[in-house]
Amino acid sequence: MTTTDANELEAIFTTTNLLRAWENVAMKNTAPGIDGVTVETFSRNQAQRLGHLRDRILTGRYEPQPYIVFPKEKRDGGIRELVNATVGDKVVARTAATELVRRYDRSFEPQSYAYRPGRGALKAVSAVERHCPKASHAVRADILAFFDEMDHATLRCLLLQLGESEATVDFLMRCVDAVRFDGVEKRQLHRGVPQGSPLAPILSNIYLHPLDTALNEGHFCFARYADDLVVLAGGADQANGALARIQEVLSELKLRLSIDKTRVYPVDQCFPFLGFLFSRDGKTPCQEARKRVSERLQEHPHSDESDSEYKSRLSAIRRGWKNYFGEEPETVAPAAHIDVAQGQPTPNSAPPKSTREGSTSPSASPRTDSESSMLSTASAVNADTPACQTAGAELAPAVKQPWDELAHSAAGVDTPVETTGKSPCTEGMEAAIALRDSGRYGEAISHCRRLLNREDIDIADGDRRAAFSLLGELYEQQGLIGAARRCWDAAGVKRKAEPVGTVQGVVSTARMVGNWVQWFAYGHGSVTRQYVDSMGRHGYRPASKTLNARYLRDHWEGRHTLAVPVFGKGDHVAFAVIDLDVSRRVLDTLTQAELQAKRVELLDDALGLVDVAHRAGVDGVIEDSGCKGYHVWFFLRNPVSAKLARHFLAELCRVAGDSPGGTHRELLPGSDTCPPDGNGARIKLPLGIHRLTGTRCGFINPDGSSCTPVEEQQVVRGRTDAGRMRNAIEKWTRWQSADQPPRTPQPHAPLGGALNATGLKEVRAGCAVLRALQRKASETHDLSHHERTVLRGILAPLGPAGHGELHRIVRHCRNYDRRLTDRMIGSAGPKPLGCRRIKEILGPFADEVGCACHFKPKKGEYAHPLRHVEQAATRANEPPAGVESKRERNGDGRCEAPAAGRGTGAPSPAGTGDARLLATDAVSMLLHTYHARRADLLEIQGQLQDACDRSGQLVVPFGTLCVAGPDPELQNWVVRL
């Protein structure tokens, strides 16, 4: 070895470089090589061993010891040979690899992502996803046995072309073609790079660098990860040209393409790359990856593995999956096998869960010999053959459960599975049918899903189709037509169902598109698309980074159903939404008729929310969500902070009263800042089709009727702003302290169960709201949810007497249900509803019926209708009529209490008659009513005066309005004490 060669090697294998490489090897604690020296043994005299290695390298005496070969089966059935070198040889290889990376990594093309610092598979995935929408075709190429077929002579030439010395290249080639020992014989290969050696990654990038350069010189858009390559082209001709160029360069490198894994795909379909399936709309984990992670998660603990170690292993698997695919592996289960080369799922398979909804296409036929020959000659490939049937399903993890437990939980199924002689599939079907017949549709659906997800039993194709058909029937009975159709498609049967709602009636204009983009494209994050899998489950997956006119029209026309993020920049929002829905625990127990009745209650709740907001100066819009409930939208002229919007929604719900029983309200935004994980930060766009039910999600007028297509154009527009929201909050909270009952014990608390019919009579006689609601129920046979809430707040705290009165009033309504009314009573608190809260809930109705009671509660108390009982008790303890009070006996002067009423014009007779009349409840009620009417008249009088001009007149179509002087029929009344 010449001095120059020694200097070249000395620059690479410095003591510092060897020490760093040793630390890297020691940190991994790798297995010993053929010499049996472990990392621990090597560390005992590492300095001496490293020095010895360096001397042998610099003097040209270094020869790597034989590699131990470990065969590993590939997923496609082949064998991959992995090698394990000695600890010393690993240190040497690591030192050389680190130096080669330092020298040449910066010269590699940016489209090379494998084994490079700061890059990786996810960067390659992002690059392909970013360029997919701009391409029409994709070439997916895989190099056949790349690491095993790298030609050593070609590799030597490439290293010399980079400027490496002969000594360095010779040293590297000794490491590459070292002897391999498979346990039987030693053999030396002159092709391939030992996989498992630290040198393999950098040498593979050097070997394929000419391919990257050729593609860049041809101005192709591509991404390469080791031997896996994708080229995105603007047309089929360009794609075939790229394929021909790839074939040409690989031929020069003495490599070949894998015919089974290389083809041209239309981007509108989907193509595999690095564990994902890509299409124009995005990416989704491929089914093979889902199957592998599911199999790993279902592995039983090893015999020598503790529970904590087993859980730690599963946790590592889940964490690795989530870090790469961006979702929890619990939400996936083994699905259909996908032939990665053809991109097709096998028959009778359920599509996998995805973060996007891909397009669907029929299965592609097997590749013909002519297609293979065209590939081998780099000529035109049939690009029109559908690439795949996109994954569009969310499958729950296939958790193995004892089927006897599942079958026994069904109503009417009590025969042990072991003694029936029936297959587990038959048992499961019977259990689901028993649950369906007992009205437990939700549990029946869950049973069918678990049956179809089981992997511990073999389900015949006929039984699987029958299970899918039954699942479709269950969905149909719940009105989930979209889910039912997906199940029937999986079963291969054609069933008639209600036609899917369409949005052909949407009349879109340029202004409407602009308005929608203004409000719904403001959110920060990707636009997602709704999907329904073959088992009827639905979810959302990313569809696009931004919302544009094309996606909007697809949404309106029913091709896609989109959801948009709520939070924008700086935690601001362009709209606020209240999502009214039926609770899950109640939904599974409801029949279709009961669900429709519950939806009627939700619509009444939505109308009440919009009415309360309108009276506060904020206009809202109701949308049918298409499934179980409704959305109440508030569109903003300009974005406001999420904190203000959430505060407004929370106060609105408080003032409007509780939601109907068995329902709940979800506020969007639900927090002051965007959640880190983004959960609960998206909302489905209106005017689309709900994929579960096939129902159009249209807008609703304030009277409860559906909007016409022309009216829908005017709905989505700026209706409120931050100022109006603040004014509404101020209006609703100015009496908040008085409305909320104090936490200290109240005087009325012990009255709840002791009040009898007499106390109820006092409340009815004194509370104008109670009398008005009773009259409205008997005359119109209808009460809104808010009106029933007020009735409950007044009567429920009265105990059994109040409960009976509540039933007697609500019984007049057409939709009266005693069970639901009892449930409503049971959810009421022990404290009565405050008078100010009643006024807030009922609004103008409370003023119209004369809700003007005047109580004088003590400090820490609040005004409520039950105060009438206390007033009656106070009057009963007053001195009887005709008995002089202490003030009269002492000769004190008279004091007058004003009253207002309508009289006959003649003075009232004096004497004991007045005192006798004053003691009666009838006169008290008359004075109370007249006082309320007088307050109304004074308010109307003030409004009329404001409408007149300075001269006190107002010209109206039928004359001139002016003040005519005092009304001679009205008199002022006083009660002299």
Q: Identify any residues that bridge with 954 across adjacent strands, giving them in sequence order.
A: 961
Range picked from 418-427, 522-531, 573-582, 791-800 for highest mean pLDDT: 573-582
pLDDT, position 94: 92
Distance CA 208, CA 227 (A): 9
Distance CA 360, CA 371 (A): 23
pLDDT, position 331: 44
Closest CA to 120 of 278, 246, 226, 271: 226
Query: Band of the pLDDT at 562, cuts 50, 70, 90?
Result: confident
Cis peptide before 741 (omega within 30 of 0): no
Phi and psi for 209 in degrees, rounded to 5?
Answer: -60, -40
For range 323-345, the mean pLDDT: 51
Closest CA to 115 of 180, 56, 197: 197
Distance CA 965, CA 950 (A): 17
Helix (H/G/I), strand (E/B), else coil: 563: strand
Instruction: Answer yes or no: is pLDDT of 96 > 80.
Output: yes
Q: Determine which of 48-57, 64-73, 669-678 has the lowest per-residue pLDDT on average.
A: 669-678
Distance CA 200, CA 26 (A): 19
For range 711-731, the mean pLDDT: 78
Pairing of strands 282-285, 572-582: unpaired
Instruction: Answer yes or no: is pLDDT of 195 > 80.
Output: yes
The more confidently predicted of residues 742 and 275 is 275
pLDDT, position 335: 35
Beta strands in 482-569 (DSSP E): 527-532, 538-544, 562-565
CATH of domain 510-733: 3.90.920.20
Instruction: Answer yes or no: is pLDDT of 889 > 50.
Output: no
For range 325-330, the mean pLDDT: 70
Q: Where are the alpha helices (DSSP H) in 576-684?
A: 584-587, 592-615, 642-656
Query: Band of the pLDDT at 411, cuts 50, 70, 90?
Result: very low
Distance CA 459, CA 451 (A): 9
Please state the domain extents for the chain. 3-117+142-209, 286-376, 403-491, 510-733, 741-876, 894-976
pLDDT, position 923: 64
Pairing of strands 221-225, 186-187: unpaired
pLDDT, position 628: 78
pLDDT, position 716: 61
CA distances from 435 to 432, 593, 718 (A): 5, 18, 49
Instruction: Answer yes or no: is pLDDT of 221 > 80.
Output: yes
Instruction: Answer yes or no: is pLDDT of 394 > 50.
Output: no
CB contact burial 219-244 (16+ within 10 A = b; e otherwise): ebbbbbbbbbbbbbbeebebbbbbbe
User: Left, alpha or beta for 174 (phi > 0: left; psi -120 to 50: alpha)?
Assistant: alpha
pLDDT, position 166: 87
For range 610-620, the mean pLDDT: 88
CB contact burial 645-654 (16+ within 10 A = b; e otherwise): bbbbbbbbbb
Which two tokens mark 529?
């698309």
Give the percent of the chain with pLDDT over 70: 73
Tell me the pLDDT of the chain averaged across its residues: 74
pLDDT, position 804: 85
For range 877-904, the mean pLDDT: 43
Tokens 């109640």 appear where? 586
Contact present, 81 and 69 (Cβ < 8 Å): yes
Residues 128-144 have pLDDT tens digits of 988 888 899 999 999 98
The more confidently predicted of residues 610 and 885 is 610
pLDDT, position 914: 40
Query: Band of the pLDDT at 974, cuts 50, 70, 90?
Result: low
Tokens 């109580």 appear where? 855
Contact present, 351 and 361 (Cβ < 8 Å): no
Helix (H) or strand (E) holding 221: strand 221-225
pLDDT, position 435: 77
Instruction: Answer yes or no: is pLDDT of 454 > 50.
Output: yes
The more confidently predicted of residues 204 and 412 is 204
pLDDT, position 451: 77
Query: Band of the pLDDT at 186, cuts 50, 70, 90?
Result: confident
The more confidently predicted of residues 17 and 348 is 17
Helix (H) or strand (E) holding 180: strand 180-181
Instruction: Answer yes or no: is pLDDT of 602 > 50.
Output: yes
Instruction: Answer yes or no: is pLDDT of 702 > 60.
Output: yes
Radius of gyration of the chain (CA): 40
Phi and psi for 553 in degrees, rounded to 5?
Answer: -70, -35
Distance CA 895, CA 330 (A): 80
Instruction: Answer yes or no: is pLDDT of 464 > 60.
Output: yes
For range 225-250, the mean pLDDT: 91
Distance CA 611, CA 847 (A): 16
pLDDT, position 939: 67
Distance CA 515, CA 714 (A): 10
Phi and psi for 377 in degrees, rounded to 5?
Answer: -95, 10
Contact present, 293 and 329 (Cβ < 8 Å): yes
pLDDT, position 837: 82
For range 406-429, the mean pLDDT: 50
pLDDT, position 354: 37
Which two tokens mark 709?
């297509």
- Count CA atoms closer than 13 A to 356's CA, side-chain side: 24
The more confidently predicted of residues 161 and 908 is 161
For range 73-97, the mean pLDDT: 84
For range 896-923, the mean pLDDT: 41
User: Left, alpha or beta for 484 (phi > 0: left; psi -120 to 50: alpha)?
Assistant: alpha
Please list, in sequence order, all residues whose beta carbon lies within 8 angstroms of the beta carbon of residue 264, skipping any fewer than 6 positions away. Answer: 137, 138, 139, 236, 239, 240, 243, 381, 382, 383
For range 31-39, the mean pLDDT: 88
For range 483-507, the mean pLDDT: 64
User: Crossing angle for the helix pair 800-810 and 768-780, nearest 10 degrees?
Assistant: 40
Distance CA 284, CA 277 (A): 5
Distance CA 819, CA 822 (A): 5
The more confidently predicted of residues 710 and 376 is 710
Which two tokens mark 956?
């109206």
Sign of the torsion formed by the C-alpha atoms of 266, 272, 274 and 280: positive
Distance CA 126, CA 379 (A): 29
Instruction: Answer yes or no: is pLDDT of 380 > 70.
Output: no
pLDDT, position 250: 93
Distance CA 722, CA 969 (A): 49
The more confidently predicted of residues 420 and 58 is 58
Question: How many other C-beta atoms are found inside a 10 Å radius of the C-beta of residue 892?
Answer: 11
pLDDT, position 422: 62
- CA 15 to chain CA centroid, Å, is 56
Distance CA 806, CA 275 (A): 63
- CA 427 to chain CA centroid, Å, is 34
Instruction: Answer yes or no: is pLDDT of 263 > 80.
Output: yes
Distance CA 681, CA 563 (A): 10
pLDDT, position 830: 62
Q: Determine which of 447-456, 460-469, 491-500 has the lowest per-residue pLDDT on average.
A: 491-500
Phi and psi for 762 in degrees, rounded to 5?
Answer: -65, -40
Distance CA 759, CA 438 (A): 45
CATH of domain 403-491: 1.25.40.10
Which two tokens mark 184?
């039987």
Contact present, 551 and 527 (Cβ < 8 Å): yes
Helix (H) or strand (E) holding 668: strand 663-668
pLDDT, position 932: 64
For range 395-419, the mean pLDDT: 35
Please list, in sequence order, all residues whose beta carbon lies within 8 angstroms of the beta carbon of residue 72, skipping any fewer than 6 positions away. Answer: 79, 80, 81, 82
pLDDT, position 231: 94
CA dihedral 413, 414, 418, 421 (to 10 degrees): -50
